[in-house]
Amino acid sequence: AATGSTAAAAVAGESTAGPSRRICAGGGYVNEEYSSDSDESPLIDPGNSSPDDADEDDGLARDGSSAVRIRIPEEERRCDPHQRYPKERGKTLLAVAMLIVAGVSNVIVLSVIHEKVPETDPLPDFLFSLTPYYPYGLNLTEYIMLSSFGAMALLILFHRHRWIVLRRLAVIGSLLYFGRCVTMFVTQVPVADPHWNCTPKLKGENATFANVLIRALKVVTGLGLNLGGKHTLCGDYIYSGHTIVLVVSALFIGQYSPRRWRVVHVFSWMMTLIGMFLLIMSRGHYTIDVIISYFVCTRLFYVYHTMAAMPSLRISPQNHHRKEIWWKLFEFMEGRIMRPLPRKYDNPFPLRQCIALIRHRSPIPANSDGAPTVAAAADNPAAAAVPPSASTPLLPGSVGVAPARVTHRTRADYGSRIVAGGG
């Protein structure tokens, strides 16, 4: 709110700079450019108001100063963070299942196209001609990739809205890998590394889908990594799966880590670039594979998070992203998230809750009649206020009905069962 001379200075400054801005103030002036039917009308009509002039029905509270408080109906307030950012664990588990299916499908498609890879010389590549051949670059790339993915997973674990972030990661990852299945299947290019030992192709009676599927499952057990020693299939080039993990990890680290962690953001992108260049130097992928993968990952990430953070764009008739093939999936996954996620964190395994859970499950020592012992009653005073058992007669003037005899009670039972007695 601007008052007095501040409001006058704002008017003087804007009269020469251009169109006036909307000012929510009580400084005692009204801009002449504003009218009742203008789109640039003030948010709140300023004026010299006093507490006596306040209208009880206008929803505004004025305390005599320039500040104006807008009353929000109680039913419209959503103070609970679980209401503003619902976890929706079921949707998250569904998204993770989609990611697993996409990953397995990716390997199955690779096993199929392995039989169709042309056995010719590598395609000409500009960066291949500028960089030396470094066969160990692929292993280094996978070490960097696993480190980046581990850092991202740790960040998601300690994020306050970890279920939402994990769901977004799984949805974006599944879309990327399903798209990779399509591009690998429609176009096969020669092996980029002439020194790479590919698994012999199936021929004759061995060329069955069952053998192709078994071969794919062997690759799945090694997570499709060269470090596992089981990734000997060829043909997974357009577009790069290694680049997907590197770029998506850097994007999520930059989006959901604290803004002041700029060193971490720069370092994660530096490691991503180093991994991409090592991937090219090892001839694990053509340069075009890496470029396409980077472009697809960043475009999908930016569009997805822009739509998730700005609900007004979702219903706009000018939003052409509604024509995306994955739009219905997005509406289902993000339908209840109506604002950007805050960069807040907590401990997923709080010590107090763990101790309370242990105490809740630990039995309290009891006598033969089911009542707590003297030591247990001293440790837990609420345990002394226990309903009498069926074998114990009610005292004169006591209130209540004797329940069935219980020989094993927990601390929660003694803490919650308090009998009001008289006499």
Which residues belong to the active site?
A: 242, 285, 289
C-alpha–C-alpha distance, residues 307 and 384, integer Å = 57
Count the Cβ atoms, other than its own, within 10 Å of residue 282.
22
- Phi first, then psi, for residue 327 (nearest 5°) are -65, -45
- Phi first, then psi, for residue 120 (nearest 5°) are -130, 180
Count the Cβ atoms, other than its own, within 10 Å of residue 306.
12
SS (H, E, C) the chain: CCCHHHHHHHHHHHHHHCCCCCCCCCCCCCCCCCCCCCCCCCCCCCCCCCHHHCCCCCCEEECCCCCEEECCCHHHCCCCHHHHCCCCHHHHHHHHHHHHHHHHHHHHHHHHHHHHCCCCCCCCCHHHHHCCCCCCHHHHHHHHHHHHHHHHHHHHHHECCHHHHHHHHHHHHHHHHHHHHHHHHHCCCCCCCCCCCCCCCCCHHHCCHHHHHHHHHHHHHCCCCHHHCCCCCCCCCCCCHHHHHHHHHHHHHHHHCCCCCHHHHHHHHHHHHHHHHHHHHCCCCCHHHHHHHHHHHHHHHHHHHHHHHCHHHHCCCCCHHHHCCCHHHHHHHHCCCCCCCCCCECCCCCHHHHHHHHHHHCECCECCCCCECHHHHHHCHHHHCCCCCCCCCCCCCCCCCCCCCCCCCEHHHHHHCCCCCCC
Q: Look at the block and give the residue holding tokens 């993968």.
A: 293
Count the Cβ atoms, other than its own, within 10 Å of residue 147.
14
Q: Give which of 128, 110, 117, 116 is closest to 283, Cα–Cα.
A: 128
C-alpha–C-alpha distance, residues 265 and 391, integer Å = 69
